[in-house]
Amino acid sequence: MSATRPGHKPKCKRCRNPAVVQLHSHHTAFCRDCFLLYFQRQVQRAIDGERMFSREEPVLVAVSGGKDSLALWDVLQLLGYRTTGLHLNLGIGAYSVLSRTKTEAFARERGLPLLQVDFGAEGHAIADVVGLTRRPACSACGTAKRHHFDRIAMEHGFPVVATGHNLDDEAARLLGNVLRWDMNYLARQSPVLAPSHEKFARKVKPLFRLSEYETAVYAFLRRIDYVIEECPNAAGASQLLYKDVLQRLEAEMPGTKQNFVLEFYRRARSQLFAGNLEAPTTCSRCGLPSHRPVCRFCSLLDEVAAKRQGVRPLAQTSS
Amino acid sequence: MRVVLLPSREEVELRGGCRVGDLLRELQLLPGTVLVIRDDEMLTTEDVVNDSDTVEIRRVISGGARKRNPLC
Ligand code: SF4
Ligand SMILES: [Zn+2]
Ligand SMILES: [Zn+2]
């Protein structure tokens, strides 16, 4: 194995042409075409191996405009799946405007169908919700996102929702869950989450075998114009710390991240949680999956409405 | 050599004539966490960068949600 020996231009492991991508975790290197082929095969392997969906099933792809979700949409389309994008306009200032512009351009250039939900038009732009309720942005955002993914999938008859989570996302999340031994979160961390009811969609993560570096390389080599900037609410200190720790382990012990995540899925998860998953019921308001009588999203809307009403009389008296 | 770091858009002037691997070590970056781009082409750690180059270093690791939110 001399693909990456110092001072030597690495060669593609498959065709021996000059390599442009080095994958240190796999002690290998690829030229452009062979990397794209490798990437597609990893995605296909994830889909088939976990029985995520078939070629006949319409797949709703959650697209934020970032590298992972656009790479996912691109590769699923190349592999011949029936995809529709779903973009949620979160209402987080300039970041949301840019995300929407890039997502729309991607869909337009490829002639792909794109559905959109505008949080502002729905009365719960994340910036407003945070201002009114003082909830942490990401908790309100996650609740609303989950609701709209479920709702759109149900209304439009999609049996599957695919998200762009990669190996690093899964590894960081797994490390966080293990450090807290959060059994509820651990039980629900899976590349395929079966629906609790036949009218709901299953959630799948076709990129879970591929690292964040690999999805970035794929997006670059496929000339995908994605949002490089991050959400201003992101940079969650713990998430980045977990990723950094894992990356340093990976540099010393290549393959660590992959073993950590894939072996959790392959062996540990099924032993820990065989039949132990608490099945959710449905929300009495919106009818979507919920562990409580009124789901988190409907409760959030109640809170926003209450605050809005509480604010109005004050504004009137001051005028 | 001009080095542009993304997404922060920070810029630094560094001496060229070294391998990308050395450049990353100097900047304390691990190879699997960034894309190194020159003239719209990706570079490997063995490529040599020169004084007259402009090199873009694009961080690929994103932070995700601040609160535990698996959907971000
Ligand atoms: S980081 Fe931004 S997009 Fe992600 S959950 Fe938080 S608010 Fe939503
Ligand atoms: Zn090749
Ligand atoms: Zn509800």
| A74-104 per-position pLDDT tens digit | 999 999 999 999 999 999 999 999 999 999 9
Whole-number pLDDT of residue A213: 97
Q: Which domain holds residue A200?
A: 42-279
A196 CA distance to ligand 2 centroid (A)? 44
- The 3-class SS string of chain A reads CCCCCCCCCCECCCCCCECCEEEHHHCEEECHHHHHHHHHHHHHHHHHHCCCCCCCCEEEEECCCCHHHHHHHHHHHHCCCEEEEEEEECCCHHHHHHHHHHHHHHHHHHCCCEEEEECCCCCCCHHHHHHHHCCCHHHHHHHHHHHHHHHHHHHHCCCEEECCCCHHHHHHHHHHHHHHCCHHHHHHCCCEECCCCCCCCEEECCCCCCCHHHHHHHHHHCCCCCCCCCCCCCCCHHHHHHHHHHHHHHHHCCCHHHHHHHHHHHHHHHHHHCCCCCCCEECCCCCCEECCCCCHHHHHHHHHHHHHHHHHHHHHHHC
- Residue A265's pLDDT is 94
The answer to whether position B39 is within a domain reads yes
Provide the pLDDT for residue A188: 87
| Mutation target among A68, A86, A98, A230 for the B interface, most CBs of B within 10 A | A230
Contact A141 B72 (CB under 8 A): yes
Domain containing B28: what range? 2-59
Beta-carbon pairs below 8 A across chains A and B: 125
- Answer whether residue A287 is part of any domain: no
Q: From the list B19, B35, B63, which residue is nearest A236 (CB)?
A: B63
Residue A112: which pLDDT band, with cuts at 50, 70 and 90?
very high
Q: Within a domain: residue A310?
A: no
Average pLDDT over residues B19-40: 95
**Å from CA of A298 to ligand 3 middle:** 4
What is residue A293's predicted lDDT score, i.e. its pLDDT? 93
Q: What DSSP state is assigned to residue B21?
A: H
Report which protein residue has its CA nearest ligand 1's atom 7.
A138
Give the model's pLDDT for residue B62: 81
Question: Is A293 a member of any domain?
Answer: no
Mean pLDDT score, A206-234: 95
Share of chain A above pLDDT 70, in %: 92
Model confidence at A34: pLDDT above 60: yes
Tokens of B54: 């402009």
Distance from Cα A282 to the centre of ligand 3, integer Å: 8
Q: What is the pLDDT of residues A114-153, one digit of tens each?
A: 999 999 999 999 999 999 999 999 999 999 999 999 999 9
Domain count along chain B: 1
pLDDT in tens, A52-69: 999 999 999 999 999 999
Q: Quick check: ipTM above 0.90?
A: yes
Ligand 1 proximal residues by C-beta, below 6 Å: A 90, 126, 137-138, 141-142, 231, 233-234; B 65-66, 69, 72
* pLDDT tens-digit readout, A242-270: 999 999 999 999 999 999 999 999 988 87
CB contact under 8 A, B44 and A236: no
Instruction: Assess if residue B71 is contained within a domain.
Output: no
Judge whether B66 lies within some domain.
no
A225 Cα: distance to centroid of ligand 3 (angstroms)? 35
Q: Is residue B64 in a domain?
A: no
CA-CA distance, A270 to A267, in Å (whole number)? Answer: 6
Residue A63 lies in a domain: yes
- Convert the pLDDT of each residue in A175-196 to its tens digit: 999 999 998 889 889 999 998 7
Neighbours of ion ligand 3 (CB under 5 A): A 283, 285-286, 295, 298
Residue window 211-270, chain A: list those with CB within 8 Å of chain B: 211-213, 215-217, 220-221, 228-231, 233-237, 239-240, 243-244, 247-248, 250-251
More confident residue, A309 or A41: A41
| Domain membership flag for residue B72 | no
- Indicate whether A64 belongs to any domain: yes
CB contact under 8 A, B35 and A7: no
CATH code of the domain in which B7 resides: 3.10.20.30
Q: Which of A129, A230, A231 to mutate to test the pocket of ligand 1 (most atoms within 8 A of CB)?
A: A231
Whether A164 is covered by a domain: the verdict is yes
**What residues in A contact B63, CB-CB < 8 Å?**
230, 234-236, 239-240
Task: Report pTM.
Answer: 0.91
Is the residue at A160 inside a domain?
A: yes
pLDDT at A166: 96
The CATH number for A64's domain is 3.40.50.620
Mean pLDDT of A296-304: 95
